[in-house]
A and B are shown apart, each in its own frame.
Chain A
Amino acid sequence: MQASARNLCYNHKQDMRQIFSIEELELKANDIRQDIIKMLVAAGSGHSAGPLGLADIFTALYFNILKHDPKKPDWDERDRFVLSNGHCCPVQYVTMAHAGYFDKSELKTLRKFGSRLQGHPERLRLPGLETTSGPLGCGLSQAAGMALAQRIDKAQHRWVYCVTSDGEHDEGNFWEAAMLVGKYKLANLTVIVDRNNIQIDGPTEVVMPLEDLRAKWEAFGWHVLEIDGNDIEAIIDACNMAKAIVEKPVVIIAHTIPGKGVDFMEYDFYWHGVPPNADQAKEALKELRTLGGKIRSEHE
C-alpha cells in the first residue's frame, strides 16, 4: 500500500495535473534516450555521454519536479531551471519536446543552420530556456541571481534549480557562486551535480581531482545529498527533501553513468563530445528499445 503510493508522483503543471508512476517515468526516460541518439546521429556532431546520463534527471525534472507550463514558457509563477553545462542541451531539447514545448519533428534540426536548437542553448532562440549557456562555470551564479531577485520580491515559493556538470567545478566562477549562495543562504535554490566522473580529457580525478566533493560543498555552507542519479525515484525524493531543508541551500550530488543505457558508451570518456555514427546509433537504439535485451524490439 505504502509502496504504491510512493510510486505515484504528480506533475505540477499549471493547466493539467498528470499522474505518472515511476515505471511510466522510466519508460519516458528510455524514449528520451532514443530521441537523443536519433538527434545526435542526424546532427553529426554533439555530446553523447552527458545527455544520456542525465536523461533520468531531466525526466524527473520536467515530468515531476518543476512547476512549469510548456504552453506558457514565460509564466511568471514557474520554477526557474538553469542548465549550466550547456553542452548537454540535447537532453534538454528532447525532454522539452516530450513535455510539449515544441514538436518532436524539430529535434532533427539540432545544430543545423537556422535551427532554434543551437549547438549550445541560446535563450533568445528557444522559448522555455532560462539562459544562454555553454561556457562552463557560470550557471550557478545566474541561478543565484534569480534566487536573490525572488528574495527581494518575497517570492521564495518559486524554486530555482540548476544542473551542473562535475567537470565545471574546475572553474573559479563556480566556487565564487557556491560561496555567494552559502553567504546568502538561498534555500530556494537546489543544485543537481551530474557526477559522472568524466570530462573531455579523461576522468575528473585525473584531469583535476574534485574529491572530497561532499566535504568541499559542506565547507561552503551547503547541505549535501548524495544519490544514484539514474534512479528516478531517488531524484524525486532528493528534490522533495531539498525543499524541506530551509536553513541551507541544498546540492544533490547525483552519481550518474555517462552514456547510461548504451552499453558501449557507458563509463567511457571517449563519448563525452562525439555523436554515434549510423551503425553505432542502430546498435544503441536496439539496446534501448529492447531494454538491454529484456524485451523484443517492435522493429524486429
Chain B
Amino acid sequence: MNKSHLVKDLRAKDIKQESSRKGFGRGLLQAGKDNDKIVGLCADLTESTQMMLFKEAFPERFIEVGVAEQNLVTTGSGMAAGGKIPFVTSYAAFCPGRCWEQIRTTIALNDRPVKIIGSHAGISVGPDGATHQMLEDLAIMRAMPNMKVFAPCDSVEAEKITLALAKDKSPNYMRLSRADSPVFTTADTPFEIGKAQIFREGHDVTIVATGSLTYHALVAAEMLEQDGIHAEVIHVATIKPLDEKTILESVAKSGAVVTCEEGQINGGLGSAVAELLGERLPTPLKRIGMKDRFGESGEPNELLEHFGLTGTHIAMAVHEVLDHKKLRTR
C-alpha cells in the first residue's frame, strides 16, 4: 500500500484546482501566528505573491520595499541579522533572477536564514510571456552553496513547505506557480525537507519529477499502466539537497529514468539527477523540460502542450528510454 495519501482519482473532472502561491499565502499566515519573529517583505507584488494575508494580519511585521528586488533580499538579510525570520517575495524572474549576487553574498555566504519565495515560476505563467516565465531559477539557485531549493507540486504541499521553511535555520529558495493546477496531495501526504517521496510504486522505469509536473508524471504513469509498463514516480520537492538514496534505490531497480520539470533541462532537476547517476549509477535517461529556449505568451495548458510538458510527452519519453534500456541489456 502506498503511503503517499494522494487523492483517489487523479483525473476526476471535479478535482480541486488551486495555484501553489495560494498555499504559500496560507502557510505564511499560519507561520506568522506561530512565531512573532516571522517578518514579510515584498517588492510591490503583495497580492500576486499572496503575501497580502500576512500583511493584513501583521502590518507591523510587513515591509514594502517597492519595485526593488536587490533591496528586497539585502534588507531581508539585515532583518535576519536582527533576529528575524524574513520571507521575501517577488516574481521568480526578478527574485532570484535580478538579485542573484546579493543573495549569494548577503544571504548564502553570510548564512542568514532568509526565505526567498519566487512566484510565477515556469512556463505556466502563461499570457505574460517569456520575460515573466522564470525557467532558470532552479539552475541558478541550485548552484549556490548553503542554499536549499524547493518546488511544491500543489498548493497543499506549498503550505507544508512554507511552515517547514519557517522553522529551518538556513537560507531557502522556493518557487511557486501562478496558474491553478490540480490539488492531488492531501494533509496526510508526507513532506520532509531533503526527502523525496515515492508517489507511485513501479519497477520498469523511474520518473523523477518536481513542481507542477509531478501531477503530469502521475498521469503519464496511469497511461503507461495501460501498456503494461509499471512506472515508479518520485516527487522531488527538495531539489537541493537531493534525496540521492531514494532515487538511486529506485533506479537500481528500474534501470531507466525520465526527469520532469517546468524549467530549463540545463541546470535544474534533470541535471541534478543526471549528475548523480553519471557518477554513481550510469543509466539511460531522458529529460522533460524546456530545451534551452524561452517561452512565449499563451494559456498555460496550451504552452505545456506546445513545449512538450504534458503526461503524453512524459509517456513518450518513457517509451524512448525503455528502448535504450533494451539496447543496453540485449
Contact = CB atoms under 8 A, between A and B. Distances in A.
Interface in A107-160: 122-124, 130-135, 137-138, 141-150, 152-153
A234 interface: no
Contacts of B86: 145
A173 B70 contact: yes
Contact of A142 (B60, B74, B109): B74
B110 A141 contact: no
B84 A152 contact: yes
Interface in A142-193: 142-150, 152-153, 172-173, 176-177, 179-180, 184
A142 B61 CA distance: 17
A145 B102 contact: no
A50 to B, nearest CB: 19
A149 B66 contact: no
A67 B74 CA distance: 24
B130 interface: no
B111 interface: yes
Contacts of A80: 81
A124 B106 CA distance: 12
B81 A177 contact: no
B125 interface: no
B46 interface: no
A263 B86 CA distance: 48
Given A173-B71, A176-B70, A180-B65, A142 B77 contact: yes
B71 A142 contact: no
B102 A138 contact: yes
Contacts of A150: 82
B65 A142 contact: no
Interface string B77-112: 111111110100000000000000110011001110
B291 to A, nearest CB: 33
Contact of B83 (A144, A153, A179): A153
B106 A138 contact: yes
Given A142-B78, A145-B80, A148-B82, A123 B71 contact: no
A145 B75 CA distance: 4
A138 B79 contact: no
A176 B109 CA distance: 22
B63 interface: yes
A148 B110 contact: no
A80 B106 CA distance: 16
B102 A173 contact: yes
Contact of A146 (B82, B105, B111): B82
A172 B81 CA distance: 22
Contacts of A173: 68, 70-71, 74, 102
Contacts of A147: 78
A72 to B, nearest CB: 17
Interface residues of A, number: 32
Contacts of B68: 173, 176, 179-180
Contacts of A124: 109-111
Contact of A177 (B60, B61, B75, B83): B75
A180 B109 contact: no
B151 interface: no
B39 interface: yes
B84 to A, nearest CB: 5
A141 B75 contact: yes
Contact of B70 (A122, A143, A152, A172): A172
Interface string A176-219: 11011000100000000000000000000000000000000000
A145 B105 contact: no
B76 interface: yes
Given A135-B101, A138-B74, A177-B74, A148 B106 contact: no
Contacts of B111: 123-124
Contacts of B66: 176, 179-180
A207 B82 CA distance: 36
A176 B79 contact: no
Nearest to B74: A141
A149 B83 contact: yes
B105 A132 contact: yes
A80 B78 CA distance: 11
A22 to B, nearest CB: 33
A152 B75 CA distance: 14
B77 A145 contact: yes
Contact of A131 (B70, B83, B101, B106): B106
B106 A152 contact: no
Interface in A53-109: 80, 82
10 closest cross-chain pairs (CB), A and B: A145-B78, A149-B82, A176-B71, A142-B78, A141-B74, A176-B68, A145-B79, A173-B70, A132-B110, A145-B75
Interface of B: 39, 60-61, 63, 65-66, 68, 70-71, 74-84, 86, 101-102, 105-106, 109-111
Interface of A: 80, 82, 122-124, 130-135, 137-138, 141-150, 152-153, 172-173, 176-177, 179-180, 184
17 contacts: A82-B78, A131-B81, A131-B106, A133-B106, A135-B102, A137-B70, A141-B75, A141-B78, A142-B75, A142-B78, A148-B75, A149-B39, A153-B82, A176-B68, A179-B66, A179-B71, A180-B75
Given A132-B110, A142-B74, A146-B79, 4 more contacts: A142-B75, A146-B78, A179-B68, A180-B65
